[in-house]
Amino acid sequence: MQSAAPSALGANGWTPAAPSDALDRNHWWEIFHDPELNALEERIDVSNQSLKSAASRFAQARALVRETRSQQKPTLSAGGDARRVRESMTQGVPPPASESDFNDFSIGLAASWEPDLWGRIRTLVSSSMQQAQANAADLENVRLSLHAELAADYLMLRSLDNERQVLADSVNAYARALKMMEDRYAGGLANRADVEQARTQLEATSAQEADLSESRAHYVNAIAVLTGQLPEGFTIAEQAQALTPPSIPTGVPAELLQRRPDIAAAERRVALANSQVGLAHTAYYPQVILSGAIGLDSSNLGKWFNAPSRYWAVGPSLAETLFDAGRRRAGVAQAVAQYDESVANYRQSVLDAFRQVEDSMASLRILADEAARQQRAVQAARNAETLSMNRYQGGMVTYLEVISTQSTRLQNERVAVGIEQRRMQASVALVRALGGGWNANMLPRPAELSSGK
């Protein structure tokens, strides 16, 4: 009844998942060695509302597994009835004792069971389990995305702190330069234009430092929401610190990519679509139900337990659609088309994952070289600033040259911080692309899905 099994996807270069491990499954963010980041990450699993929503969807899918599995067992029901009845006098069968009004008391048990002759119920159970596993993978993908987003926001915040420190150091240096120019002007060694140039540079740099406060506030608010807290009153102390990209074990990308929960979810949806093809085929077969009933029925409670009041019935029922104007054939065609769509989505998700890993690895490799070159540029700019100030104090150049070299030094230092920030963001992106240490072996097993725990 079913089409090719999902394992057949190994054809044409596509291999079944064989997950491996390289990162810590539970706390991958600890590779950044930041206690405050670790504490914030711990709050996501407790307080983030998006994660709770995804967890609720998984809980719904688990409940559906138990519901469909119950169809494999007989259904037993009990019922009773107490009525005062008047039958129509025009019926062919007269009422008891030729009375038009009489009592009717009944109680009984009824049972029904559908033997799974064509695999319909088994396929329904399998489909519900595959859907639940897909939802479980979706939950882990949401968890991974939220943890990665928090890490990226936090590291961006620290990068802004580093940039503000660069600007603050420059503001202090420019304030000292302005004081020196004012002293030189008072002593007749500098003109008023030099003083105003120094003042302009100080105020412009101070304004740039203040401008970073807006961006920083936005990141603090984003972190508050990610950790399930109100932005109002939530603060993170400013702290400039060295940001060094961690060493991330990549292994063989073709293996590591199979740890991604989004790929696992796509694979489970391929299996689900495959089951739906089999389920559509079962519509061609008759439905067989075994049913039975036993009980007591009497018009007099005093005679309820007498032998004549007992009744029973047992037997099968069968239903088969003889003509449906192509409805079942169209249902099968739709299921096959949905299966083909899920296969294409699965393969595209794998290709996207390969690209994301390669992009992140390329970024880290190129940015490492760029950072080394930029540090040399920063050192050269600092040397040029020192030489320019010495030349100015010796009366060899105007203060305009000092301003120019100071601006060049500040620009290069800010570029260096920007490269540092991009390297940290690329590190987070690589961890996310590699699945954050998760693997498909962590998906719930069928027994776990049916347990209800």
Task: Name the band, by pLDDT with cuts 50, 70 and 90, for residue 14.
Answer: very low
pLDDT at 21: 44
In angstroms, rounded to a whole number, what is the distance separating the alpha carbons of residues 282 and 4?
Answer: 16
Position 356 in a domain: yes
**Who's near 412: CB < 8 A, 6+ residues apart?**
374, 377, 378, 381
pLDDT at 7: 38
Task: Name the band, by pLDDT with cuts 50, 70 and 90, for residue 449.
Answer: confident
Position 93 in a domain: no
**CATH number assigned to the domain comprising residue 51:** 1.20.1600.10
Mean pLDDT of the 129-149 span: 91
Instruction: Give tens-digit pLDDT for 296-306.
Output: 787 777 676 77
Position 365 in a domain: yes
Q: What is the pTM of this model?
A: 0.82
Task: Name the band, by pLDDT with cuts 50, 70 and 90, for residue 2.
Answer: very low
In angstroms, rounded to a whole number, what is the distance separating the alpha carbons of residues 278 and 351?
Answer: 28
Position 312 in a domain: no
Q: Which domain holds residue 191?
A: 6-73+118-286+326-451
Token pair 């203060």 is found at 399
* CA neighbor of 16 nearest in space, from 354, 263, 249, 277: 263
With a pLDDT cut of 90, the percent of the chain lying above it is 46
In angstroms, rounded to a whole number, what is the distance separating the alpha carbons of residues 291 and 74?
Answer: 9
User: Does pLDDT of 220 surpass 50?
Assistant: yes
Position 90 in a domain: no
In angstroms, rounded to a whole number, what is the distance separating the alpha carbons of residues 238 and 236?
Answer: 6
Whole-number average pLDDT of the chain: 85
Instruction: Give tens-digit pLDDT for 82-129.
Output: 887 777 666 555 555 555 677 777 888 889 888 888 888 899 998 999
Helix (H) or strand (E) holding 101, with range, is strand 101-113
* CA neighbor of 24 nearest in space, from 444, 445, 439: 439
Position 305 in a domain: no
Helix (H) or strand (E) holding 339, with range, is helix 327-393
Position 98 in a domain: no
8 A C-beta contact, residue 375 and residue 417: no
DSSP states along 235-299 = ----------PPP-----HHHHGGG-HHHHHHHHHHHHHHHHHHHHHGGGSPEEEEEEEEEEEES
pLDDT at 421: 95
Task: Name the band, by pLDDT with cuts 50, 70 and 90, for residue 395.
Answer: confident
Task: State the first-to-last Cα distance of the chain, in angstroms, to the nearest integer.
Answer: 33
Task: Name the band, by pLDDT with cuts 50, 70 and 90, for residue 343.
Answer: very high
Task: Name the band, by pLDDT with cuts 50, 70 and 90, for residue 61.
Answer: confident
Position 79 in a domain: no
With a pLDDT cut of 70, the percent of the chain lying above it is 88
CA 270 to chain centre: 19
Least confident of 13-17, 244-248, 396-400: 13-17
Instruction: Tally the domains of the chain.
Output: 1
